[in-house]
Amino acid sequence: MGHNITLRLDKELIRKAKVLAAQQGTSVSGLLARRLEQLINEEEAYETARRHALDVLERGFHLGGKIPCPREQWHDR
């Protein structure tokens, strides 16, 4: 069973939330729980994609081709 939380909301917002919940065949609590879960899942997916993108950038890209000779041959040192 879930845990309870208390929210302070405007009366008109509560009324609209009750209407929306009734239209969707759920409760205001169910409506909010589903939306919070959706927000959390989106945030987790974003973080996963962000970490992957940073990992790809860290590894770099191989664009093909070969270096014909070592760098030292290009510069007299």
Sign of the dihedral defined by the CA atoms of residues 49, 50, 52, 57, in that order: positive
What pLDDT score was predicted for residue 74?
Answer: 73
Provide the whole-model pTM: 0.68
CA terminus-to-terminus distance, the chain:
73
Rounded-to-10 torsion of CA 19, 25, 30, 36: -80
Q: Copy the structure tokens of residue 68.
A: 């014909």
| Rounded distance between C-alpha atoms, residue 35 and residue 27, angstroms | 12
pLDDT along the chain (77 residues), means of 10: 91 97 97 97 98 93 76 70
Show me where the domains of the chain are located.
Answer: 28-59
